[in-house]
Amino acid sequence: MKTDQIILLLPYQKPFLFVDGIDAISEKGISGHYTFKEDESFYQGHFKGNPITPGVILTECMAQIGLVCLGIYLLKNELKEESKPQIALTSYQMDFYLPVLPNEKVTVISEKEVFRFNKLKCKVKMHNEKGELVARGLISGMMKSTNT
């Protein structure tokens, strides 16, 4: 499965799509990136005169790349071209270290811990363009093909 096909299978669209590209993917993990554009709607109120990407949005970006894209890849043998996977976030635990500002590109790196009975659990990290650790944590979710 090609990386552009994975992105097309994501159940998100703008303005709630936080994946620009997938840099590497395997059965063990994934890395991908996203640039937070300065015109994103959440910057209007978070915070006045000092826009910073909300932690919940950083978590969503990490989940979309680190859990959902990887889950689609792991389900590749079950998916047909027209099918969309069903995804439900079941738990997450995040620690944040640095802010992400408008027009900043981040890279998400995810390592699969377990994928069993359609439950995927991953260790995720987010780095800024300088390679500094922005956030890290654990994300789990249930993944299923609409074919099953």
Tell me which residue has tokens 């937070």.
36
Q: Which amino acid is at 108?
A: V
Instruction: From the candidates 46, 123, 136, 144, give the one annotated as an active-site residue.
Output: 46
Based on the residue annotation, tell me whether 46 is a catalytic residue of this protein: yes
Q: Which amino acid is at 146?
A: T
Cis, peptide link before residue 96, omega less than 30° from 0: no
Residue 22 has φ and ψ, to the nearest 5°, of -110, 125
Residues belonging to the active site: 46
